Amino acid sequence: MTENNRSLNVAIIGGGMFFDDIIGQTFKDLMRGGVAGALNSIGMSHLASAVADVKIHVSAIGTRSETSGTAGRIADWFAKDFSDCQIAACYGEEVWKDILASHRPDVLFVATPDHVHTQPILDALDAGCDVITEKPLCLTTAEADQIVAKAKEADRIVAVDMHKRFDPFVREMMLNARQKYGAINRVRAVLEEPLEVSTEIFAWAEQSNPFTYVGCHWLDVVHHYLQVKPRAVFASGQKNLLLHWDEHHVEVARRRGVEASSFKRQHAINTWDSVDVAVTYDDGMRGDYNNNWINPAEFEGAVNQEIELYGIYGRGIVDQQDRGYREAIIGDGSRTRNPSFGGRIHHHGGHLELFGYGKASIASGLLAVIRRRLLRESIADLDATYPTAASQRDVVQVIEAAAIVAEKNYEQLQAGRGTPATAILDDSEIRVVEPS
């Protein structure tokens, strides 16, 4: 980007579950109207006039397997709305390397599986790119430190799509929480994903777990708004359904009245059904995080999510199912909807546009890039305006510690020794405490 070329060239790698609904549609909106219209949702509308003419252009989409044709499908999907915009469909095991070399993007958007974030981010920074990545930033504290150091050295933005931070219900409760509720004794947070995520959608479920995948959202909310530091982690989990999916999928199919062969995956899936994590923070507050990805498809909502604060003078709760939007439709049953995340509006001209905090999170990262590149603001001055890589270091440390402790406690339980393992955290290391 230059003063004479007020545009951002964006390349995207990955085309997963939320691409068409959130990520892709967000970039369609931004290509059509720029970032200014999305700034009200992140409290930055005062900058709208300064960035209103900045164009957003997507130049390339990259996915791993050419046989799947995902990148080509996405490029064709964009072309339906932007027939004069040529978006390259790219493939390869390290597709980002070719994209960085051939298309020279200003921003690389990383939407790859959880365990394939770090190298694309580092390579993009080496190429002079700013980065927006899906959550979690990465899976180990060592990788997080490497990313943070590289971003600082390169003087580049690394933003993380932590959209729950921008949920207006959650934000309203968390802002000034201590003034409203007094000292916070405990946080209880739940986020449960549907069974199809672990059995049908994510071929990489064995490389992650439900706490890593979605628990990181609530960690970010708690750490960001309450400004606490994690100091101890206890974790345990369950491996009852997915580890024996080769057997249980038959019973699930029977209960649904469908053929067992209709399931995309029918073999055992070596990952957790659910993970429960207790974090003790530096002020003594306890955070209880409960996550699974085996919620039945018959559940009324797309997900089950809630967060509750317990303070000495009061308490607050945001429960997805209690926001008041329910429908009952023949063939679909009774369902709760969440347009606050990814609502849709058809304009008079026929264009579809997205609104909600799913879009807001991406906009916050792009705005930071624009402010650095065009408005010449320092990264230090932008620090509190978007979910930074540095802000995710503690989140990554907790999910890494939880994965280690949960596995050790699972082994201890199988051996009849209870669940005695915990982890102690400080700014430099994770120290696992386990009876010898």
Residue-level pLDDT at 67? 85
pTM (2 decimals)? 0.96
Segment 397-416, tens digit of pLDDT = 999 999 999 999 999 999 99
Look over the chain and give the mean of its residue pLDDT values, rounded to a whole number: 95
Between 167 and 4, the higher pLDDT residue? 167
* 306 closest CA partner among 401, 388, 201, 214: 214
Residue-level pLDDT at 18? 81
Q: In a 3-state reduction of DSSP, which class is residue 84?
A: coil
- Parallel, antiparallel, or unpaired for β 88-91 and 343-346? unpaired
* 363 closest CA partner among 17, 77, 2, 22: 22
Give the integer Cα–Cα distance in Å for 299 and 323: 16
Tokens matching residue 36: 């200014």
Structural domains in the chain plus CATH codes: 7-164+342-388 (3.40.50.720), 166-338 (3.30.360.10)
Mean pLDDT over 264-274 rounds to: 96
Residue 16: pLDDT band by 50, 70, 90 thresholds? Answer: confident
Residue 3: pLDDT band by 50, 70, 90 thresholds? Answer: low
Residue-level pLDDT at 84? 87
Segment 160-175, tens digit of pLDDT = 999 999 999 999 999 9
